[in-house]
Structure 1
């Protein structure tokens, strides 16, 4: 199987190397020529255009920043659809809205191309180790054809329904994460103002009904350490909540809690916390009511 991989960012690059290591022919493309050149000697070949990559590939994987870019890459005059053979399978591993993937998949059908969405969870470390969680939306037969590729890239692989369903479950998961983190920041601020130490709150809540992944993953490592480098950026969480709000309009489902949480991350971006871990939103309350949430004692 000849695989083309479009998008050599933090996730795409290690995925390309893992597929090459598993014995596949791998062709790569990115808008940054220097990144393609960096990988040329480690994969089957680098491509100068999307059209060149499409013409060489049986299966194409895209890992791109947003739906607008995905659509342009797929449907443009020099894009994937017009330069791929019938029967080509496209796997979009970007995080976009379910509606966007459904629309692109319909256009793919016009060219005799099978299109599936397969967003991931697990971050750069998971991409490097080949242990990603992969959430796949697409036809059964298409999924089984490319499942061996997913088994190279990930450890937990879920076929969750038709096209768009992979994006949907990723969206729901990230909606919960974003809202939980915003609620945790708010709760910590109130607790500190009431005289509780962050350490006591961590100890008690972790054994009580208010516990969450946000508490377990973010409180001690980031907030209590007052160190917000690395992790999952505010900008990325803001983008994910935006995807959920876009879907809410398409499906006519009110999301008042999500809309409020999105404004919390928007406020954090206005404070210049864009690239900091999402837990840095506690800085909003620290500045607003002049408290310190980080550290073990208050």
Structure 2
């Protein structure tokens, strides 16, 4: 089992990664960090995180390496590049990819890790910026169960709903289920708020009535109020949601599944991105319905 004196390396200090790293520091773990832009990590460095100049340097010095990057192509570069994790990690290190990525890529990382005496888990998360800040993320984990059990103390620092889903790739498949659910839900939330306004209702009062009923969801409770305030700052970027939905749609097609709700949501978010909202939060979807 991992102890608090084991060094954690965290790669990818974005909206969620920064808070997740901060929670690990608060829990007493020695933490090394690397991200493409050092300035993004400066507040963590000021609070005790050790800056590494490269992925290779971080991998060589960490017992547990966590990655939280943008796209599957970034995951491939970070793990399989010449100066990447797999070529530089110490034997018996734990590798945890918390990026939402392709299940097949998670399986590939797991298989290659095993040949090198490394333990790999795919552990994507849900909960957005609020969940990352509060350490209440939902964490969905695939890989060997013993490795999951060894790292459970780390997961418990970052999340409150931690579920081992099965073999390599199972965490990613579960996260895609999560994104498929959110995709249609965000369309419904946007339509409901616009409907309330058109009906002459106070949408904030409407939310009080429906968030605790059968319509209740994270999006309705946390993102709908941001819509009303016209607060489109990213808890989760439109561009990253498009990436997730694209992966989910491709995976569904590979399995012969029809996902019309997912397809519609992807179409709408793509239109939103084309209107310059790529770096907005997913709640910006309401802009399409208000026009």
Instruction: Work out the CA distance in 1 between the residues paired with 2:115 and 2:139.
Output: 27
Q: Residue by residue, what CA displacement relative to the aligned partner does 1:174-232 show, whole Å, maximum 9, x if unpaired? A: 21111111134345556766x5646486577557655544444344x134444434444
Instruction: Work out the CA distance in 1 between the residues paired with 2:9 and 2:123.
Output: 15
Indicate which of 12, 15, 18 corresponds to 1:13.
Answer: 18
Partner of 1:240: 244
In structure 1, stretches of 5+ residues that fail to align are: 288-298
Number of residue pairs matched?
285
C-alpha change, 1:35 and 1:213, in structure 2 (3 Å) is: closer
Instruction: Work out the CA distance in 2 between the residues paired with 1:190 and 1:40.
Output: 47
Partner of 1:157: 162
Partner of 1:294: none
Which moves more between the two structures, 165-174 or 272-281?
Answer: 272-281
Rg (Cα) greater in structure: 1
Instruction: Work out the CA distance in 1 between the residues paired with 2:161 and 2:15.
Output: 20
C-alpha change, 1:143 and 1:260, in structure 2 (3 Å) is: same
Q: Residue by residue, what CA displacement relative to the aligned partner does 1:68-110 show, whole Å, maximum 9, x if unpaired? A: 1111111111111111122111011111122221122222222
Give SS of 1:11's match. Answer: helix
Partner of 2:290: 286
In structure 2, stretches of 5+ residues that fail to align are: 1-5
Give SS of 1:237's match. Answer: helix
Matches within 5 A, 1:139-218: 139-186=144-191, 195=199, 197=201, 199=203, 202=207, 210=215, 212-218=217-223
The 4+ residue runs of structure 1 with deviation greater than 6 A are 190-193
TM-score, normalised on structure 1? 0.84
Partner of 1:291: none
Indicate which of 268, 273, 276 corresponds to 1:272.
Answer: 276
TM-score, normalised on structure 2? 0.85
Partner of 2:109: 104
